[in-house]
Structure 1
Amino acid sequence: MSLLRDKIQGVFNEPGCEKNRGKDAKARKVGCSKPLTPGAAAGGCAFDGAKIVLQPITDVAHLVHGPLACEGNSWDNRGAASSGPTLWRTSFTTDLTELDVVMGQGERKLFKGIREIKEAYGPPAIFVYPTCVTALIGDDIEAVCQRAAEKFGLAVVPVNAPGFAGSKNLGNKLAGEALLDHVIGTAEPDDPGPYDINILGEFNLSGEFWLVKPLLDRLGIRVRACIPGDARYFDIACAHRARAAMVVCSTALINLARKMDERWGIPFFEGSFYGITDTSDALRNIAELLVKQGADPEILGRTEVLIAEEEAIAWKKLAAYRPRLAGKRVLLNTGGVKSWSVVHALMEIGIEIVGTSVKKSTVEDKERIKQILKDDNHIFEQMAARELYAMLSEHKADILLSGGRTQFVALKAKTPWLDINQERQHPYAGYDGMVELVRQIDLAIQNPIWCQVREPAPWDCQPAVGEELPRTKSENVTLHAVQEFSGTTAADFGEC
């Protein structure tokens, strides 16, 4: 428990966190991540945050040491995609019961579970996640994992992030610490090169990274490790041989990027693949960072040629949507990197941003939003459901972009809604992803269903005695069809 406490304190004092760096010494000790409020785990606990970061590592087994419900609530919490192994989609849990806790069988049951996974699946590694229950009763996860690794000859990685430790964001960082302590640097690649990079904080939601990787391949840039999206254990173990890194979601893995820079000299920058301009800037920054690390400067010219070609194609596709969406008002209720990257992307085609949330956004994220919007009135820390509903019902926005938890607010306000969080069904990264995002917004706004649901319901219209009940547009169309049909006879239909 003391080891976990020291690890948490170290994450709280993260020097790479700009927000924490701006505090005085006393405030810095409190930390840059809010502790979890008891009974308020809707946003996710530390265990959930650790699973989010590590679950997309596709060829390893993820074993949850605790009651069954912990694994049942988290095994498929993001729409990450895999191009190969499917082991990560299999749930493994020790399924601790009250009797196991009382009789002290937790560690024995964990060791047995590791052995069964090894014999049945033979994965390159097993990640073990303690939960609130097993952390409170004092199961020595580190010792069991070390003994199992020696006994069975495979990597067994303890991920010390029980739910009560703190928020989901803290769990993200603790997962990064587990990779640093037990995975990264434990293997050596056969073919390190001057164009190897790491992508940190990219989860490959709905296969988004597959829209970006072909661009890097055309430039001769190899992704040594994408952490965690569509990752393999060996690739992450060799990630210390990359020459540069890009951080996509700084609030999740900034500690991982900073410590890899300190230990192995891998410089990094924060960027985004959302939007045409941001994707182009990210490709330029990657090329420039590789040149600083010794790569041939000719890659800068090839990068500009690629950017010019892809931007021309993307803008040509977007031209058809510009007159349909120009002046449309969008409200974003999201956070993190999307709070500014999506804003910039939509403004590029003439869409007006009436508001964007900065929940879970870093100081740098907020500064970018201010530079883009030029108005602090469109920025809010957190908007309650009642306030969201009032804004949408007053038609101050034409569409809401958010996660699944607020979709019903938009539907109640009879306003189009599009999911841009982890549950989304369409990839929005890169040049093609931007075109897809605009296409989905256009489909949502132009959907004829909204004209129908906004009409008054028949039971809301109370006609006077003897007055005919007013019909909706759809009812008029139906009535006209019935009147035409009533003039036909059986002979008009011919033989059946």
Structure 2
Amino acid sequence: MSLLRAKIQDVFNEPACEENRGKDAKARKKGCSKPLTPGAAAGGCAFDGAKIVLQPITDVAHLIHAPLACEGNSWDNRGAASSGPTLWRTSFTTDLTELDVVMGQGERKLFKAIREIKEGYGPPAIFVYPTCVTALIGEDIEAVCKRAAEKFGLPVVPVNAPGFVGSKNLGNKLAGEALLEHVIGTVEPDDAGPYDINILGEFNLSGEFWLVKPLLDRLGIRVRACIPGDARYFDIACAHRARAAMMVCSTALINLARKMEQRWDIPFFEGSFYGITDTSEALRQISQLLVKKGADPEILGRTEALIADEEAIAWKKLAAYRPRLEGKRVLLNTGGVKSWSVVHALMEIGIEIVGTSVKKSTVEDKERIKQILKDDNHIFEQMAPRELYAMLSERKADILLSGGRTQFIALKAKTPWLDINQERQHPYAGYDGMVELVRQIDLAIHNPIWCQVREPAPWDCQPAVREQLPRTKSETATLHAVQEFASTMADDFGEC
């Protein structure tokens, strides 16, 4: 636990984080997130954050050393996609019980589980995650993993991020620490080249990275490792031989990018593949970093030619949507990199942004939003459901872009809604992804169902014709019988 405590303090003292550098020593020790309420994991705990970062590594076995519910609550909570291995889709847990805890059988059960996975699946590596229970009772996960690695001849990686140590964002960074300590740099590739890069913080949600990788392939740029989206263990182990890196989500793995730059001289920048302009700028910066690291400068010209071709195609496709969407008002209730990258992407085609949340956004994210919107009034830290409903029901926005948690607020307000968070079904990255995003917004806003649901219900429009018609004898007799019964009940039991 002392090692874990030291590692957490190291993560809190992140020199690459501008917000963290501005704090005094006392504030820095508290980290960036609000403390968790004991027993409440809403928004994700540290274990959940670590699992999110590492589970998309598709060919390794992810073993949860904990009671069954920990794995049940964390399995497949992101829409990451794989182009090959499916082992990451299999749940592995030691299913620790009360008897195991009382009798001290946890470590032995963990060792046995590692052996069964090795014999039954033969993965290139096994990642072991302790959770609150196993950390609190003092299970020596690192010792068991080291012994198992020696015994079975494969890497067994301890991921020390039990839920009680902090928030999901802290778990993201602890996962990066585990990769640095046990994975990256453990294998030397025999094919390292001057055009190798790493992509950090890209999760390949709905296969988004597959829309970007062909662009890099056309430039002759090889993605040595995409961490974690659609990653392989061997690629991550060789990631230290890349020449440059792009950081997609700095709140998750900024510590990984900084330490890889310190240890292996891999420069990085933060960019986005959302929107035409941002995608083009990301490609330019990747090429420029590679040239600084020794690549042939001719790649700069090829990059500009590729950008010109792809932008022309994308703008031609978007031209059909501009008359239908120009002036439409969008409210974004998301966070992180999407709080500014999606804003910029939508404004490129004339859509008005009436508000965007900056929850889980860094200081750099917030500064980008201010530069794009030119108005702080459209930026909010967090909007309560009641306020969100009021804004939508008053028709201050034509569509809500958010995650699944707020979709029912939009539906109650009879407002179109589109999912842009991790559960989304469509990829929105790159040039083709931007066209797809605009297409989905157009389909949502112009869906004829909204005209129907906003109309008054038929029973609110029909005149009370029935009251004007004379009652039949049977109706009159029934009404008298009901009134007499009600009177009798009132006499017997008193009036309500």
Task: Map 1:160-239 to 2 at 5 A.
Answer: 160-239=160-239
Judged with a 3 Å threshold, the aligned counterparts in structure 2 of structure 1 residues 466 and 284 are, in CA distance, closer, same or farther, namely: same
| Alpha-carbon distance, 1:272 to partner | 0.1
Judged with a 3 Å threshold, the aligned counterparts in structure 2 of structure 1 residues 106 and 338 are, in CA distance, closer, same or farther, namely: same
| Alpha-carbon distance, 1:74 to partner | 1.1
The DSSP-based 3-state class of the residue aligned with 1:466 is helix
Judged with a 3 Å threshold, the aligned counterparts in structure 2 of structure 1 residues 231 and 162 are, in CA distance, closer, same or farther, namely: same
Judged with a 3 Å threshold, the aligned counterparts in structure 2 of structure 1 residues 233 and 495 are, in CA distance, closer, same or farther, namely: farther
Other-structure match for 2:263: 263
- Deviations 1:5-55, CA, capped at 9 Å, x for gaps: 111111111111111011123322322333322243210000000000000
User: Does the CA-based 8 Å contact 1:49-1:169 persist in structure 2?
Assistant: yes
CA distance in 2, matches of 1:161, 1:453: 47
Judged with a 3 Å threshold, the aligned counterparts in structure 2 of structure 1 residues 229 and 487 are, in CA distance, closer, same or farther, namely: farther
The DSSP-based 3-state class of the residue aligned with 1:213 is helix
| Alpha-carbon distance, 1:382 to partner | 0.6
- Deviations 1:234-283, CA, capped at 9 Å, x for gaps: 00000000000000000000000000000000000000000000000000
| Alpha-carbon distance, 1:373 to partner | 0.1
Judged with a 3 Å threshold, the aligned counterparts in structure 2 of structure 1 residues 382 and 494 are, in CA distance, closer, same or farther, namely: closer
CA distance in 1, matches of 2:305, 2:459: 62
Judged with a 3 Å threshold, the aligned counterparts in structure 2 of structure 1 residues 146 and 375 are, in CA distance, closer, same or farther, namely: same
Between 240-249 and 33-42, report the one with greater CA deviation: 33-42
| Alpha-carbon distance, 1:472 to partner | 30
- Deviations 1:460-485, CA, capped at 9 Å, x for gaps: 34623458999999999999999999
Identity of aligned residues (%): 92
Judged with a 3 Å threshold, the aligned counterparts in structure 2 of structure 1 residues 68 and 309 are, in CA distance, closer, same or farther, namely: same
Judged with a 3 Å threshold, the aligned counterparts in structure 2 of structure 1 residues 139 and 491 are, in CA distance, closer, same or farther, namely: closer
Judged with a 3 Å threshold, the aligned counterparts in structure 2 of structure 1 residues 456 and 344 are, in CA distance, closer, same or farther, namely: same
CA distance in 1, matches of 2:261, 2:239: 12
The DSSP-based 3-state class of the residue aligned with 1:31 is coil
User: Does the CA-based 8 Å contact 1:461-1:469 persist in structure 2?
Assistant: no
Judged with a 3 Å threshold, the aligned counterparts in structure 2 of structure 1 residues 274 and 477 are, in CA distance, closer, same or farther, namely: farther
- The number of residues matched between the two structures is 496
Judged with a 3 Å threshold, the aligned counterparts in structure 2 of structure 1 residues 481 and 4 are, in CA distance, closer, same or farther, namely: farther
Judged with a 3 Å threshold, the aligned counterparts in structure 2 of structure 1 residues 328 and 151 are, in CA distance, closer, same or farther, namely: same
Matched, 1:424 2:434: no
The DSSP-based 3-state class of the residue aligned with 1:353 is strand
Judged with a 3 Å threshold, the aligned counterparts in structure 2 of structure 1 residues 113 and 489 are, in CA distance, closer, same or farther, namely: closer
Between 34-43 and 280-289, report the one with greater CA deviation: 34-43
CA distance in 2, matches of 1:266, 1:302: 23
CA distance in 2, matches of 1:59, 1:132: 26
Q: Which has the larger radius of gyration?
A: 2
What TM-score results when the alignment is normalised by the length of structure 1? 0.93
Judged with a 3 Å threshold, the aligned counterparts in structure 2 of structure 1 residues 484 and 83 are, in CA distance, closer, same or farther, namely: farther
User: Does the CA-based 8 Å contact 1:329-1:396 persist in structure 2?
Assistant: yes
User: Does the CA-based 8 Å contact 1:107-1:139 persist in structure 2?
Assistant: yes
Between 450-459 and 362-371, report the one with greater CA deviation: 450-459
CA distance in 1, matches of 2:167, 2:23: 20
CA distance in 1, matches of 2:279, 2:473: 45
User: Does the CA-based 8 Å contact 1:35-1:165 persist in structure 2?
Assistant: no
CA distance in 1, matches of 2:275, 2:409: 27
Judged with a 3 Å threshold, the aligned counterparts in structure 2 of structure 1 residues 469 and 71 are, in CA distance, closer, same or farther, namely: farther
| Alpha-carbon distance, 1:145 to partner | 0.3
| Alpha-carbon distance, 1:3 to partner | 1.0
Other-structure match for 2:460: 460
CA distance in 1, matches of 2:223, 2:7: 29
Between 459-468 and 430-439, report the one with greater CA deviation: 459-468
CA distance in 2, matches of 1:471, 1:202: 71
- Deviations 1:146-193, CA, capped at 9 Å, x for gaps: 000000000000000011111000000000000000000000111100
| Alpha-carbon distance, 1:75 to partner | 1.3
Judged with a 3 Å threshold, the aligned counterparts in structure 2 of structure 1 residues 122 and 329 are, in CA distance, closer, same or farther, namely: same
User: Does the CA-based 8 Å contact 1:49-1:171 persist in structure 2?
Assistant: yes
| Alpha-carbon distance, 1:486 to partner | 45
- Deviations 1:127-148, CA, capped at 9 Å, x for gaps: 0000111011110000000000
Judged with a 3 Å threshold, the aligned counterparts in structure 2 of structure 1 residues 389 and 295 are, in CA distance, closer, same or farther, namely: same
Judged with a 3 Å threshold, the aligned counterparts in structure 2 of structure 1 residues 47 and 462 are, in CA distance, closer, same or farther, namely: same
- Deviations 1:317-368, CA, capped at 9 Å, x for gaps: 0000000000000000000000000000000000000000000000000000
Judged with a 3 Å threshold, the aligned counterparts in structure 2 of structure 1 residues 488 and 23 are, in CA distance, closer, same or farther, namely: closer
Judged with a 3 Å threshold, the aligned counterparts in structure 2 of structure 1 residues 353 and 260 are, in CA distance, closer, same or farther, namely: same
Judged with a 3 Å threshold, the aligned counterparts in structure 2 of structure 1 residues 481 and 353 are, in CA distance, closer, same or farther, namely: farther
Unaligned runs of 5+ in 1: none
Between 329-338 and 483-492, report the one with greater CA deviation: 483-492
Other-structure match for 2:320: 320
CA distance in 2, matches of 1:282, 1:492: 81
CA distance in 2, matches of 1:479, 1:356: 57
Task: Map 1:365-384 to 2 at 5 A.
Answer: 365-384=365-384
The DSSP-based 3-state class of the residue aligned with 1:62 is strand
User: Does the CA-based 8 Å contact 1:330-1:401 persist in structure 2?
Assistant: yes
RMSD over aligned Cα atoms:
9.4
- Deviations 1:413-466, CA, capped at 9 Å, x for gaps: 010000000000000000000000000000000001111111112333462345
What TM-score results when the alignment is normalised by the length of structure 2? 0.93
Between 197-206 and 23-32, report the one with greater CA deviation: 23-32
| Alpha-carbon distance, 1:488 to partner | 54
CA distance in 1, matches of 2:280, 2:75: 35
Other-structure match for 2:49: 49
User: Does the CA-based 8 Å contact 1:13-1:32 persist in structure 2?
Assistant: no
CA distance in 2, matches of 1:362, 1:472: 72
| Alpha-carbon distance, 1:73 to partner | 1.1
CA distance in 1, matches of 2:303, 2:209: 18
Judged with a 3 Å threshold, the aligned counterparts in structure 2 of structure 1 residues 29 and 480 are, in CA distance, closer, same or farther, namely: farther
| Alpha-carbon distance, 1:492 to partner | 64
User: Does the CA-based 8 Å contact 1:274-1:345 persist in structure 2?
Assistant: yes
| Alpha-carbon distance, 1:103 to partner | 0.8
Judged with a 3 Å threshold, the aligned counterparts in structure 2 of structure 1 residues 462 and 234 are, in CA distance, closer, same or farther, namely: same
The DSSP-based 3-state class of the residue aligned with 1:223 is strand
| Alpha-carbon distance, 1:2 to partner | 1.0
